[in-house]
Structure formats: structure tokens, C-alpha cells
Structure 1
Amino acid sequence: MQLLLLAIAPGIAICLFIFHRDAYNREPKRNLLISFLLGVITVVPAALIERSLITYEATVTAIAMKAFLYVALVEEGVKFIALRFYAYPSKKFDEPLDGIVYSVMVSMGFATLENILYVFQSAQTGQGYQVAFLRMFLAVPAHATFGVLMGYYAGKAKFAQHGKTLLLVTGLVLAVLFHGLYDFFLFIREAPTVSALTGDGLLITGAIASFIIALRLSFIHIKKHRKLSQQTYNPMETMSLRKAYEHDIPLIRDLALKIWPTAYGQIISQDQIDYMLNMMYSERSLSDQMKKGAEFLLAYDGVEAVGFASVGMAEPGVYKLHKLYVLPSQQGRGTGKFLVDAIAKAAAKKGGTILRLNVNRNNPAIGFYEKIGFVKAGEEDIEIGNGYLMNDYVMEKSLEETG
């Protein structure tokens, strides 16, 4: 029983570490458990494939093939399949850090069963405890680093506009490369020509060095995606708001010119975009809106202006969110939610009970608004001149529980 616990402990400890690092938008425990179990299951096809491919030639070439192709590619390949076809398509995979989280869970499922098998096999010759302690600090954490490398690029791929396949393949290749290097330094001792020239200590040092490099890269990758997670789900630490005044009109106009082509390019014609920008975002138009009571807010990420909003009272108790725009580079990072939350809180303090907005009926942002509490309350078609119509949904968010 004690030996079994030693074999299981490192994989579980690493799972808990990764779970702790995913602090801002944690994944459902059920999904994590399934990913772990899928990793366990993948040991079976990996073992069968390896057994059918591996030869016992002791040449350097044969050992390199064994390390990189027959072991590393097979093992990382089956883990990649579990990640790609279970976690990656899931709606719960909703931020880049999730790629690392799910990939490590799969890797730890694989590594845990593999560890149990190695430890109990070694116990037959009285070396169970030695192998358990050695693998606790090397083999199992190494599998975790391979998982981080694969998952980092899976997370980037999930939210990339282009090059998704290339990013996924990059993650797989890096995992195979570092896994292969680690195994190669351990396996090469089997080659008589190598063992005659160098000692085991030097080769083991090579394996440890490759592991340390992978470990260092893993911590860097976790830090990058975790920072993005923090910016998305806990933006208060990096973001700020301030009220905009007339001297900020050029900044608001500049943001609109950067945002609108991306926001509406697939919804309305370029001619209509140009017409509406000129109608609503000329310096004179923005000045008139401010004079009529519209309050503009600017959102900053650090010192950079990244978005803006406009709000005003439509009727007693009802506030109208006239505008809400963030730079394309900020989308998916919580900036829009940050603006809406601040506006909703301020409106509620003034006695508002409803926050209302109009959104084009073909705008993908409808899903975002629904996610943060807005519901469709009606439809509205508004003539804006020059033969153009705004075909909108009217959406509303209750402010009664906003504090």
C-alpha cells in the first residue's frame, strides 16, 4: 500500500499544483477528472504501439529512433489525441490557460499509471522504493513539462484567428522533442560504443539538463497564460476607468476608427461603416452627445487606452448603454465586462433598475451580452439616413442585484 501511494503521489501533487495555478477561472472538476482518466486509458494503446515498433538494436541510430519516434512520438501522440478531441472542443475550454490545465491532467493520468507499472515491476527485484523516489522527482514531473509545452500552444491555437493547426502541431513537436531528448540520454547507455566512451553519470546529467530546460520553459509558459487569465477574470489589478471630457474626443474618435472595421466588417458594408462613423464619431457629433448628457468612459490597460463606453438615462430607472467598444487586441480579456460592470454599478447607485442597449441582430457580441446578464427584450429597426437601417435587438440587464 505504501509503495502504491508513493507511485500515485507525484501525479496527484502536480495536478493539485496546476489546479491551484488556475485560480481565476477554474475548470469543472468533472472535466479535469475525465481528462486525467483519458490519460490513464491512453497508456494501453501507447504500450501496444510501442511493443509492435521497438527493436532492441543497440546502435545509436536505433536508440534515437526508439527515443524520439517509438516512445516520445507515440506517448505524446496519444496524449495529444485525448487533449484535442475531448478538452479542446469543449465550451469550458474558454481561455488559453485551459490548454495547459487539461494537457497536464491528461499527462498526469498517463504518467501515474505508467509510474505504478514501473514501480511495481521494479519491486519484483527489490528496487521498488528506489525507482519510486527517482521517478517522483524526474520522470513524472518530466511528463508534466511535456504536457505544459503541448497545452500552451493548444491554448494559443484555440483563440487564434489564423494558424490554429500550426500552433497545435508546434505544441506536439516540442513535447516530442523534449520527451525524446530526455529518453535518448537515458537509452543511449545501451549502445556499447557510447558506454565505452562516457560514464552513466554524464548521460544522466544530459537527461536532467533537458528536463530542467523543459521545466524552465513550462514555468514561463504557465506565467504567460496565467497573467492573461488574471487580466481576463480579475482585471481590476491592471485596468482602470476614467470619465472622458471634450478634450478626449480625438482619442475616442481614434479608438472608434480602429475598432469599427473589425467589429462591423462582416455585418454591414464599408460604405455604411464610413457613413456611421462620420455621423456618430465626428468631433462635432461627439461634442453634441456629451452636451446632451451622454457620459463617456475610457478604459485603460496600464497606461494604454483600450476601449470606451457611453451611457445616459433613457427614462426614470432605465439607463441606456449607447456605446461599448474595445480594441480587437483586448477582446476576450475581460475589458468589455469590466466596462459594463462599472457602468451597471454606477447606474444602480443612482437608482437605476435596468441597463438597456441596442445591438445589431447579426452581431456575434450578442453571445457576450447574454453571458454577462443581458436578455433580449425586443427588436428595433432604426432609419439613420442615406437609405441605411439599424436592425437591432433591444437587450436589457436587471440592476436590482448590482451593488
Structure 2
Amino acid sequence: MKIEVSKLRQDEAEAVAGLAHAVWPVCYAGIISPGQIDYMLEQRYKPALVRQLLARGDLWLAARADVELVGFAHAYPLDNGDYKLDKLYVATDWQRLGIGGELIRATADYARRHGRERLILRVNRQNDKAIKAYLKHGFTVATVVIEDIGDGFVMDDYVMAMALATPAGEPA
């Protein structure tokens, strides 16, 4: 089946929230508590928030199989010139088929075209599966961040970075 990656539509905000609620309990089982999973989903995946970030101009990419949303990525520019890949999730039945890699490539291409030199992300230090995937796609560990996110929960993350070289034949 062919997967199409293109910009997320406003009417897909509910589908993003639904996909996040399906993937997170599987992705983070044994890494963070069910309470923290619920807390973070509530903070980050309200359809109204997704629509607000779309309206702000953030990059939201959708991976679709026919019309079904099977993955998504969210990224935005930082003041220091980096571009932050803030969210990247693929439905569990669709993982290991190259969809995450395609979302990374599309995000990196977009950031590069907009003059950014580095794509960065944060990943839980216990999320070995995701860390291996990011290393495979050219990211390296830059630093560690431990952040209190409220309600007694902490994010214990690697910041990973990937240089965005100008493609050969294009002016720098």
C-alpha cells in the first residue's frame, strides 16, 4: 500500500489526537507511568491545540494510507536557528515500514528549505527503540535534559540533533 506524506489538514486534528491516544500507551509502557502518559496526552493532544498550532504556522505532516492517518509529525522553528521535531508517531500496525523515516526526511527537507541548519528533538532516555531509529536517520545525542513538567512528573530526555547540509547542486 502506498503511503502519502503531506501537510496535515485542520479537519484531521481529531485523528491526530486519536492516533496519539492509541500509540502512547504502547510506546511508553514500562518507560513512564500510565498517569504520566494520561497527563502528557491531555496537555499535548487536544484537537483544539492541534488546530491552534496549525494556525500558528507550525509544520504538521500527515502520513496517510488511502485516507487513514497512520502517522504524523509536528515541528517548528526555534529562535536559535534550529528546527524542532516536537512530535513523531506512527500507528503500531504501521511501524517498521519506513513511515517514520519518511516523516523525518520531509521535516528535514522543509527545515532546510527554510534556512535551518539543524533539526533537533527530545526523546526519553529509556526509549531505546526510538533512539535507535533516530540514530539510524542521522541524529546524534547532543545533551541530556531533565525537566519537571508538573503534577510530580519529570521528563528525562536526550536532546538529539541532525545537521541539515545543503543538498549537492543547490546554492548554500
So what's the TM-score if we normalise by structure 2?
0.90
Instruction: Give the structure 2 partner of residue 377 of structure 1.
Output: 142
Q: 1:388 to 1:348 in 2, by over 3 A?
A: same
**1:277 paired residue among 13, 17, 41:** 41
Runs of 4 or more, structure 1, over 4 Å off, are none
Deviation at 1:245, TM superposition (A): 3.2
Distance 2:139 2:93 in 1: 24
Instruction: Give the structure 1 partner of residue 162 of structure 2.
Output: 397
Is this contact kept in 2: 1:359–1:394, CA < 8 A? Answer: yes
Is this contact kept in 2: 1:345–1:402, CA < 8 A? Answer: no
**Cα deviations by residue, 1:326-380 (Å, 9 ceiling, x for unpaired):** 0111111101001001111111111111000000000021011001100000011
Instruction: Give the structure 2 partner of residue 300 of structure 1.
Output: 64
Q: 1:378 to 1:298 in 2, by over 3 A?
A: same
Deviation at 1:315, TM superposition (A): 2.4
**Cα deviations by residue, 1:253-292 (Å, 9 ceiling, x for unpaired):** 1111111111111211111111111111112332333344
Q: Greater relative contact order (Cα 8 A, min sep 6): structure 1 or 2?
A: 2
**Cα deviations by residue, 1:163-184 (Å, 9 ceiling, x for unpaired):** xxxxxxxxxxxxxxxxxxxxxx
**Cα deviations by residue, 1:135-166 (Å, 9 ceiling, x for unpaired):** xxxxxxxxxxxxxxxxxxxxxxxxxxxxxxxx
**Cα deviations by residue, 1:219-244 (Å, 9 ceiling, x for unpaired):** xxxxxxxxxxxx7xxxxxx2211212
Instruction: Give the structure 1 partner of residue 32 of structure 2.
Output: 268
Instruction: Give the structure 2 partner of residue 259 of structure 1.
Output: 23
SS at match of 1:278: helix
Distance 1:271 1:316 in 2: 33
SS at match of 1:343: helix
Deviation at 1:247, TM superposition (A): 2.0
Instruction: Give the structure 2 partner of residue 362 of structure 1.
Output: 126
SS at match of 1:368: helix
Distance 1:316 1:363 in 2: 27
Instruction: Give the structure 2 partner of residue 318 of structure 1.
Output: 82
Is this contact kept in 2: 1:316–1:352, CA < 8 A? Answer: no
Distance 1:390 1:252 in 2: 22
Instruction: Give the structure 2 partner of residue 249 of structure 1.
Output: 13
SS at match of 1:315: coil
Deviation at 1:316, TM superposition (A): 4.8
Number of residues paired by the alignment? 167
Q: 1:284 to 1:384 in 2, by over 3 A?
A: farther
- Equivalent AA in structure 2 for residue 375 of structure 1: T
- Larger helix proportion, structure 1 or 2? 1
Q: 1:277 to 1:402 in 2, by over 3 A?
A: farther
Q: 1:392 to 1:346 in 2, by over 3 A?
A: same
Q: 1:305 to 1:402 in 2, by over 3 A?
A: farther
Is this contact kept in 1: 2:16–2:47, CA < 8 A? Answer: no
**Cα deviations by residue, 1:102-131 (Å, 9 ceiling, x for unpaired):** xxxxxxxxxxxxxxxxxxxxxxxxxxxxxx
1:290 and 2:54 correspond: yes
- Equivalent AA in structure 1 for residue 69 of structure 2: A
Distance 1:353 1:246 in 2: 29
Distance 2:56 2:147 in 1: 20
Q: 1:289 to 1:385 in 2, by over 3 A?
A: farther
Show the 5 A alignment for 1:318-337.
318-337=82-101
Distance 2:66 2:52 in 1: 29
- Equivalent AA in structure 2 for residue 374 of structure 1: F
- Equivalent AA in structure 1 for residue 110 of structure 2: A
RMSD: 1.6
- Equivalent AA in structure 2 for residue 390 of structure 1: M
- Equivalent AA in structure 1 for residue 131 of structure 2: I
1:309 and 2:68 correspond: no
Show the 5 A alignment for 1:3-402.
238-364=2-128, 365-402=130-167
